[in-house]
């Protein structure tokens, strides 16, 4: 396995994703004011255990994405949080990000891996499909993302998933799983219990009434009090 999303107690220089506990995977809003979002991201990072951050900007130029990436990347690097770019491995390489998240209609796994390198992180969207997840793992993906688990306003979800696919995945492989889609502190417990490695969250963080730091703490309170189901052998 290449670089992975890592134990928060580790002190290595390489950002990775390998802790068995469920952690937060933050995704940026599709549109940001960079100066405001810089402060928001700093607050979120400092509020708790963040396993990964994905910069996901939509309908903007490559130059804007690169500029935002170069501005925000040091915040993640200072805290040893993996920093990914959405969709575009070429931009991930240009920014010097830790890796890329690709959908089924984006670059191929092989192209992404060639651009981010053997130590980079490549995560793949698998919707609610066991077949797509197995194919991604066989290719070498560092994690597979399942969803949407709940209705979401962040993007138009064309597929759905339920906690059973997370439980099945935990019983099938050691490749890590990311749950995405409408996840909030109020509804995340079944996904945590099923064994998800990461909760990918966007609107529930940046739109929280008390700010992103409070949102992170609310998630952590649920995660820390939700037992994970024993795997089925």
Which of 60, 52, 47, 56 is closest to 3 using CA atoms?
52
Q: What is the pLDDT of residue 10?
A: 39
Give me the percent of the chain exceeding a pLDDT of 90: 84
CATH architecture of 25-224: Alpha-Beta Barrel (3.20)
Domain spans of the chain, in order of start: 25-224
Query: Quick check: 126 and 133 in contact, CB under 8 A?
Result: yes
Between CA 183 and CA 202 the distance in angstroms is 8
Q: How many helices (H) and strands (E) does the chain have?
A: 9, 8
Query: Quick check: 198 and 177 in contact, CB under 8 A?
Result: yes
- pTM for this model (two decimals): 0.91
Which of 93, 86, 38 is closest to 59 using CA atoms?
86
Q: What is the mean pLDDT of residues 183-196?
A: 97
Q: What is the pLDDT of residue 14?
A: 46
Q: What is the mean pLDDT of residues 166-186?
A: 96
30-65 per-position pLDDT tens digit? 999 999 999 999 999 999 999 999 999 999 999 999
95-128 per-position pLDDT tens digit? 999 999 999 999 999 999 999 999 999 999 999 9
């Amino acid at each position: 396995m290449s670089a992975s999303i890592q134990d928060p107690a580790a002190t290595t220089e390489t950002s990775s994703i390998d802790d068995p506990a469920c952690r937060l995977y933050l995704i940026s809003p599709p549109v940001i004011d960079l100066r405001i979002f810089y402060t928001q991201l700093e607050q979120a990072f400092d509020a708790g255990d963040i396993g990964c951050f994905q910069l996901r900007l939509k309908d903007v130029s490559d130059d804007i994405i690169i500029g935002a990436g170069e501005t925000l990347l040091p915040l993640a690097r200072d805290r040893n949080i993996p920093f990914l770019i959405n969709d575009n491995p070429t931009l991930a390489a240009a920014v010097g990000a830790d890796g890329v998240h690709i959908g089924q209609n984006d670059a191929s796994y092989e192209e992404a891996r060639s651009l981010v390198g053997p130590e980079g992180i490549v995560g793949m969207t698998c919707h609610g499909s066991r077949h797509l997840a197995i194919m991604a793992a066989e290719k070498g993906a560092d994690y597979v993302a399942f969803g949407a688990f709940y209705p979401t306003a962040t993007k138009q979800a064309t597929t759905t998933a339920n906690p059973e696919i997370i439980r099945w995945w935990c019983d099938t492989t050691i490749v890590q799983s990311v749950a995405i889609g409408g996840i909030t502190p109020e509804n995340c417990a079944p996904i945590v219990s099923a064994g998800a490695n990461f909760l990918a969250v966007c609107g529930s963080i940046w739109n929280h009434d008390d700010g992103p730091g409070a949102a992170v703490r609310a998630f952590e309170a649920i995660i820390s009090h939700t037992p994970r189901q024993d795997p089925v052998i």
